[in-house]
Structure 1
Amino acid sequence: MRLLLRVLAPLLGLVVAVVGLALVVETVTAWVAPSSSPLVVPWPTWRAAIEGLTWQSGVVRTVAIVVGVVGLLVVILGLAARRHDVYLADPVPEVTVTTSPRSLARAVGHEVRSHDDVVSASVVASAKKITVKASTLDPAADVRDAVRARVDEMLVRLPLAMRPKVSVSVTTTKGVK
């Protein structure tokens, strides 16, 4: 989502800059040579087409609705792309400490992978939930309990403001032991 905003923001900025430049060029052209035809934008033709429109016209209402919907989508996109920080316990009231979900997932993943029976693991974390998917060569039920205990022990050591829900799934992979 943030990637989309990083692409969309410069594009919208470029569009606004081009429209502003065209407005400046047309304004200067109209001041310098009022009788000449428009330089870039055919504004006299557009003006003639717009003069017959009123606020009750279907075209005006449709454009207003489209602009409103696009604006609402941009606002929703911006709100959905905000940072989802994981809050840690504040050392003093004047200081707020946060970490990223990626850092929390990396720390949990390192802890899970350090277990002798875990072959591979992937971790997805947020402030509310940590999902661990691990692979082992041993029976999955035995390793699942050990991995869960290890993750719970690590979360106790971390100064998290709110403890996330932990979901652990372990699968047995085939391989040479």
Structure 2
Amino acid sequence: MRLLLRVLAPLLGLALAVVGLAIVVETVTLWVAPASSPLIVPWPSWRTAIEGLTWQSGVVRGVAIGVGVVGLLVLLLGLVARRHDVYLADPVPEVTVTTSPRSLARAVGHEVRSHEDVVSASVVATTKRITVKASTLDPADTVRDAVRARVDELLGRLPLARRPRVAVSVTTTKGVK
């Protein structure tokens, strides 16, 4: 979602800048050479079409509803895309300590990869859940228990305000040991 906002924000800004530039160009053209106006936007024909509309017109209400819906979608997108911090235990009441889910995933991944039987691992962390996917050359069941124990031990050492659920899956890969 944050990626979508990072793409959407410059595009909306660019669109507003183009509209603003078109207004400036049309205004200057009308002041300097009224006979050659309009230059880009056919505003005289638009003005005659809009003159007959009132606030009770269906077109005006439809446009207002459409703008409102798009505005609500952008607002919801912004609220959903906010940063979801992982809260740590506060050392004192006046201080709030947080970390990012990426940092938590990095710490868990480092701990999992340090296990001697783990060949590779990927970790995804959110505020509510940590998902560990590891590969091993040994039987997956024994390594899964050891990896889960390591992750639980690490989460016990971290001063997390709320402990996330942990899901560990281990697959056995073929290879020379």
TM-score, scaled to structure 2 = 0.91
Moved more, 98-107 or 55-64: 55-64
Separation in 1, partners of 2:137, 2:155: 26
| Residue number in structure 1 paired with 2:45 | 45
Identity %: 86
1:108 equivalent in structure 2? 108
Corresponding residue number in structure 1 for 2:170: 170
For 1:158, the aligned partner's letter is L
How far residue 13 of structure 1 moved from its aligned partner, in angstroms, is 0.9
Q: Which residue identity is paired with 2:101?
A: P
CA distance in 2, matches of 1:170, 1:28: 68
Which structure 2 residues correspond to residues 144-159 of structure 1 after superposition, within 5 A?
144-159=144-159
Q: Which amino acid aligns with 1:43?
A: W
Question: Which 10-residue stretch deviates more, 16-25 or 35-44?
Answer: 35-44
Q: Deviation of residue 73 (structure 1)? A: 1.2
The answer on whether the counterparts of 2:26 and 2:37 sit within 8 Å (CA) in structure 1 is: no
Q: Once the two structures are superposed, what CA deviation does each residue of 1:111-154 show, in whole Å capped at 9, x if it has no partner?
A: 00111111111111011111111111111111111111110100
SS at match of 1:11: helix
Root-mean-square deviation (Å)? 1.6
SS at 2:110's partner residue? helix
Superposed counterparts of 1:1-177, under 5 Å = 1-32=1-32, 37-177=37-177
Amino acid at match of 2:90: D
8 Å Cα contact 2:117-2:138 kept in structure 1: yes
Which runs of no fewer than 5 residues in structure 2 stay unpaired? none
User: 2-side partners of 1:171 and 1:33: how far apart?
Assistant: 75
What is the identity, as a one-letter code, of the residue corresponding to 2:47?
Answer: R
* Contact 2:129–2:166 (Cα < 8 Å) also in 1: yes
Range with greater deviation from structure 2 (24-33 or 156-165): 24-33
How much has 1:89 moved relative to structure 2? 1.3
Name the SS for the 2:84 alignment partner: coil
Segments ≥4 residues shifted beyond 6 Å: none
What SS does structure 2 have at the residue aligned with 1:115? coil
Greater mean deviation of Cα atoms: 22-31 or 163-172: 22-31
Query: C-alpha displacement at 1:19, in angstroms?
Result: 1.4
